[in-house]
Amino acid sequence: MACETLRHHCGVMGVWGDENAAELVYHGLYSLQHRGQESAGIVSADNDRFHRQIGMGTLAQVFSGPATLRELAGRSAIGHNRYSTTGSASQYNIQPLYAELRDGPVAVAHNGNLVNTKKLRRSLQEDGAIFHSTTDSEIIVHLMARSRSDQVRGKLVEAVSNVQGAFSLIVLSDHALYAARDPYAWRPLSIGRSPDGAWAIASETCAFDLIGYEYVQDVEPGTVAVVNDGGLETERFAEAEHTYHCVFEHVYFSRPDSRVGGEYIDKFRRKMGKHLSQEHPADDADIVISVPDSSNTAALGYAKESSTKFEMGLIRNHYVGRTFIQPTQTMREMGVKLKFNPVGGVLRDRNVVVVEDSIVRGTTLHKLAALLRSAGAKELHVRVSCPPIRYPCYYGMDFPSRDELIATGRDVEQIRRQIGVDSLGYLSVENLLASVPQKHGVGYCTACFTGDYPIPVEDAEEETGTKYRYRSARDEEDEED
Ligand code: 5GP
Ligand code: MG
């Protein structure tokens, strides 16, 4: 097993107080499948009898029929979809994790990435702890196991107070369903409620829509929320001046039909498209197309603002998995062609604005440019609804190392030539931030664009070439003076 800590991003879902808990979690995970396709799992609790079903692959691959769900009895359940690039894609890393603690069983599902795990893991191991996986999430289980508190809530508060980094976490015990979110609230996590008073917690609110639950509120930064038959209680375990929500969740990762702070991501993406059109107009364009599905809404925003017709110039094959996670470059390049087919009738002899949500390695656009030209497109003007991605993410996005990012060491003109298009424009950091809610106490992590990592990362210093700038609270105080 690799000793490198697994980096992953995920979808998590939990239900308390519903006879069909496991089935609801299963359906909820279906609407969160975009957050991870590498493994899936559900743990249910039938009082203090826990049942666990996990496996590699998508939900449909792991839960092949109703029989597999029937074994997951009980009025509460939690589930997890994982998506990873770093670390091993191993059986041992499948979540939810399960553990027998001193006062009873718990299951844990984690989304995000902890950043102080090496030292913690080492000191736990020196103390005799045995790890079964390479996930950082297991550290939380060990910290809970070591807590002197005789309540799961106390154990959880103690554990999450001792880890740093991004975590949107759900824990199930026989007494309650718990949610914990780091003080910077990198990853989303929301609470929902059924008309009958059952509770749900999920990475994104689109999971509630599917199961007929109402979106109640987000889990507050730096708090543990506890739900059971007695209702909802929350406890703050850490304070931060403002959040560092991952702005890339809004650009790409979350579904546009999910809500954050009560507002649809769809709205933020349209604003990104609007600002992009103002910042980088394409005056001789005949049509605007998206790269479905991830840039659809940004493209609509661009088309509206520029009064240019939105067209479907690319048809996506929905039966092909994400090109991004194909293991080799050759497969990845083949994948783009498998996934998209240009519509000649729409594109021929047209000057086309292609709105894309992001460029990571540049593979998608490089291949698409050739495809669109072969279909007769005249000029290609690519507009990207986020800034150039130049730095790796240590808080849960699976961006590759710096040398694989196309924007590393290249300016926009060099990137334009590399992908082979007639013009290229990226949304600025300022305009990206102007497209997302700006409220008191809300701030965003833009480290992948700027290299400003809000909290220190053990790995960052070791990886070559990472410009690692940690802005301490002290620096910020100095600036204010
Ligand atoms: P590239 O081909 O440049 O490496 O990746 C860019 C494409 O991948 C864009 O179409 C974007 O929508 C998508 N993308 C960006 N970030 C991610 C990610 O974290 N995972 C996956 N699967 N796709 C991504
Ligand atoms: Mg895309």
Sign of the CA dihedral 52, 205, 450, 479? Answer: negative
The Cα 78–Cα 45 span in angstroms is: 9
DSSP 352: E
**Cα angle at 9 between 122 and 439, to 5 degrees?**
105
Pull the structure tokens for residue 69: 């769900």
Confidence (pTM): 0.92
Lowest mean pLDDT among 93-97, 172-176, 316-320: 316-320
CB burial of 147-180 (b: ≥16 within 10 Å; e: otherwise) equals: beeeebbebbbbbbeebbbbbbbbbbbbbbbbbb
Sequence-ordered alpha helix ranges (H) in 93-214? 117-126, 137-146, 152-161, 206-211
Q: Is the pLDDT of residue 192 over 80?
A: yes
pLDDT band at 338 (very low <50, low <70, confident <90, very high): confident
The residue extents of the domains of the chain are: 8-240, 269-433
Per-residue pLDDT band for 399 (boundaries 50, 70, 90) equals confident
Residue 313 and residue 335: Cα distance in Å, rounded? 18
Which one is predicted more confidently, 469 or 445? 445
Domain made up of 269-433: CATH architecture? 3-Layer(aba) Sandwich (3.40)
Active-site annotation holder among 10, 206, 246, 393: 10
Atom of ligand 1 minimally distant from the CA of 295:
12
User: Do 8-240 and 269-433 show the same overall fold?
Assistant: no
Give the pLDDT confidence score for residue 16 in this predicted structure.
Answer: 98
- pLDDT greater than 70 at residue 451: yes
* DSSP code per residue over 292-308: TTTTHHHHHHHHHHHT-
Per-residue DSSP letters for 430-461?
HHHHTTS---TT--EE-HHHH-EESS--HHHH
Q: Given this model, what pLDDT does residue 462 score?
A: 58
3-state DSSP assignment of residue 125: helix
Q: What are phi and psi of 9, to 5 degrees?
A: -130, 155
254 lines ligand 1 (CB under 6 A): no
Any ligand 1 atom below 6 A from CB of 363:
yes
In terms of Cβ atoms closer than 10 Å to its own Cβ (0-12, 13-18, 19+), residue 413 is exposed
Q: List strand residue ranges (DSSP E) for 57-207, in order.
A: 76-86, 97-101, 104-111, 168-172, 177-181, 190-193, 199-202
Distance CA 112, CA 6 (A): 11
pLDDT of res. 321: 61
Identify the pLDDT of residue 297: 98
Ligand (nearest to CA of 386): 1
Ligand 1 atom nearest 294 alpha carbon: 12
The CA 358 to ligand 1 mean position distance, Å, reads 6
Among the ranges given (238-252, 413-427, 467-481), the one the predictor scored with the smallest mean pLDDT: 467-481
Q: Quick check: 332 pLDDT over 70?
A: no
| pLDDT > 70 fraction of the chain, expressed in percent and rounded | 89
- The pair of structure tokens assigned to 137 is 């999430």
Residues 280, 427: Cα–Cα separation, whole Å:
8
Q: 378 CA distance to ligand 1 centroid (A)?
A: 25
Measured CA to CA, the distance from residue 54 to residue 71 in angstroms comes to: 12
The upper half-sphere exposure of residue 266, i.e. CA atoms within 13 Å in the direction of its Cβ, equals 9
pLDDT tens figures, 2-54: 334 555 679 999 999 999 999 999 999 999 999 998 899 999 999 999 999 99
Looking at 89-93, 151-155, 263-267, which range is the least confident one? 89-93
Q: What is the pLDDT of residues 105-144, one digit of tens each?
A: 999 999 999 998 899 999 999 999 999 988 889 999 999 9
What angle, rounded to 10 degrees, do the helices at 152-161 and 137-146 form?
Answer: 120
Ligand 2 centre to CA of 273 (Å) is 15
Instruction: Give the pLDDT score at 88.
Output: 57
Mean pLDDT for 322-351 is 78
Average pLDDT of the chain to the nearest whole number: 90
398 lines ligand 1 (CB under 6 A): yes
Q: 283-297, 317-331, 415-429: which has the minimum mean pLDDT? A: 317-331
Beta partners for residue 379, in sequence order: none
Residue 481 is predicted with a pLDDT of 30
Query: What CATH number labels 8-240?
Result: 3.60.20.10
C-alpha span between 13 and 305 (Å, rounded): 37
Distance between CA 97 and CA 83 in Å, rounded? 15
Give residue 477's pLDDT: 35
Under a CB-based contact definition with an 8 Å cutoff, are residues 37 and 320 in contact?
no
Confidence of residue 458 (pLDDT cuts 50, 70, 90): confident
Q: What is the pLDDT of residue 400?
A: 80
Q: 306 CB less than 6 Å from ligand 1?
A: no
User: What pLDDT score does 89 carry?
Assistant: 65
Determine the pLDDT at residue 319: 80
Quick check: is 393 catalytic?
no
Q: Which pLDDT belongs to residue 301?
A: 98
